[in-house]
Amino acid sequence: MAIVQCPKCGGPMEDGAFGSTGGVQIFRSNRQGPRDMYTQVRPARACLHCGYLELYVDPQELNERLNPKAGRR
C-alpha cells in the first residue's frame, strides 16, 4: 500500500476509522433534509506527525441524499 502524505505537514498518514462510543458517526449537509437524512462517516486517516485528521463519506450516498429523485429510476 502506498504511503499517503499529509496535506498539512507532509508527514505519513495512517488509515483507520472514526468512531464514537455513542454509535455511528454521521455527516449532515446543510442542504440535506430532516434530521434522519444523514450520510455515515466511513474511512478516516490521521497524520502520524501533526495529528491532522481526514474523514470521508461515500460521495454517491451523499449525492443520493441531496438529490433523492435522481437516485430513483
Tens of pLDDT, residues 5-53? 999 999 999 988 776 656 677 666 666 666 556 677 778 889 999 999 9
For residue 47, give the C-alpha cell: 497524520
Does the pLDDT at position 73 exceed 50? Answer: no
